[in-house]
Amino acid sequence: MTWLPDGLAVDFAAAWTDDILVRDLASRLTCIEVDLLAALLRACGRAPEYGDCWITAHAERDQPGDKHYRGPAAA
């Protein structure tokens, strides 16, 4: 296990839980990148639900066959 300086996990999570950042960047990440970012946010513990927010925002642009593809939105 790697040691993190005091407050680093909280600061990291705070920097990556901005709704505008999530909306603008999530679709540009690969499935692997968004999975790893979500895992880090969950491990930081400050806002684990943001891991799900990143994956949900990313999935909106995934195509059939991509890991997070959820099909067309209901009308």
**Distance between CA atoms of 52 and 7, rounded to whole angstroms?**
22
DSSP 68: T
11 closest CA partner among 38, 37, 39, 46: 46
What are the structure tokens assigned to 48, written together? 């684990």
Bigger pLDDT: 16 vs 63: 16
Whole-model pTM above 0.85? no
Between 6 and 14, the higher pLDDT residue? 14
- The separation between the first and the last C-alpha atoms of the chain, rounded to the nearest angstrom, is 46
Residue 35: predicted pLDDT: 94
pLDDT of residue 47: 67
Instruction: Give the pLDDT score at 57.
Output: 92
